[in-house]
Structure 1
């Protein structure tokens, strides 16, 4: 089995698509007005409008802008460079400026427009680098 994707359900798909396109610098593929994807070599970030919930059993299946337990993470070559590049764009969305964590990653934590936590990180220590070389 391979992990494939994470999907965010939102009431404002255009706002989230614009945000993730800007912070990642990756192309966003819009399949419909209600569904888009950002693909990376390892996984996909999917963004769906609340209208897509009808295909999964109705509006009670998920709740937009209500996440308080998941952090969406992106590994970068240089998190400090990304922070410098995005400082003006992120403004008050930064939760934690680049900080070296006890497990060896340098991490920038922010919130997307729906309040979801997003972590940009760069492995720094030899142990952290080895975790991601497999």
Structure 2
């Protein structure tokens, strides 16, 4: 029996703004863009790992008002989980990310005590994004 990662969800307060970051800045490819009433989900991925999808969705999409409000409050605090990515040229990627609109730099590229060289930013919604050198 095997198990593998098929996808992850990233909660964002503005899907279009997040899409500009994940698609235009990071270079992910849109695989699906689905509307359901007043909400929208966008699934992105990479050519190198086509089996894994990253879904961007707002706090209230598919949730009760109460749960959406709680999730929105955590998002506003930057208290949701992070997304970890890997690239082949961290310095070039960091330069591109650091100049993008709505991005907060948390740490510039550096070798970490746990052995990886990475950098950290907050996406326009406040989620932490760590990118490591492949």
TM-score using structure 2 length: 0.75
| Shift of residue 78, structure 1, vs aligned partner | 1.5
Please show how residues 95-106 of structure 1 align to structure 2 within 5 Å. Answer: 95-106=106-117
Deviations 1:79-102 (A, max 9, x none): 112112333226761110001111
How many residues of Structure 1 are paired with residues of Structure 2 in the alignment? 120
| Shift of residue 12, structure 1, vs aligned partner | 1.4
- SS in structure 1 of the partner of residue 119 of structure 2: strand
- SS in structure 2 of the partner of residue 52 of structure 1: coil
- SS in structure 1 of the partner of residue 67 of structure 2: coil
1:35 has 2:46 as partner: no
Contact 2:102 2:124 in 1 (8 A): no
Normalized per residue, the structure richer in helix is: 1
- SS in structure 2 of the partner of residue 32 of structure 1: strand
> Structure 1: 5+ residue runs without aligned partners?
124-134
2 CA distance for matches of 1:69 and 1:49? 13
Q: Which residue of 1 aligns with 2:125?
A: 114
Pair 1:5–1:92, CA change in 2 (3 A): closer
Aligned pair partner of 1:16 in 3, 15, 18: 18
1:48 has 2:57 as partner: yes
Contact 2:107 2:120 in 1 (8 A): yes
Which is further off, 84-93 or 15-24?
84-93
> Structure 2: 5+ residue runs without aligned partners?
none
Contact 2:15 2:56 in 1 (8 A): yes
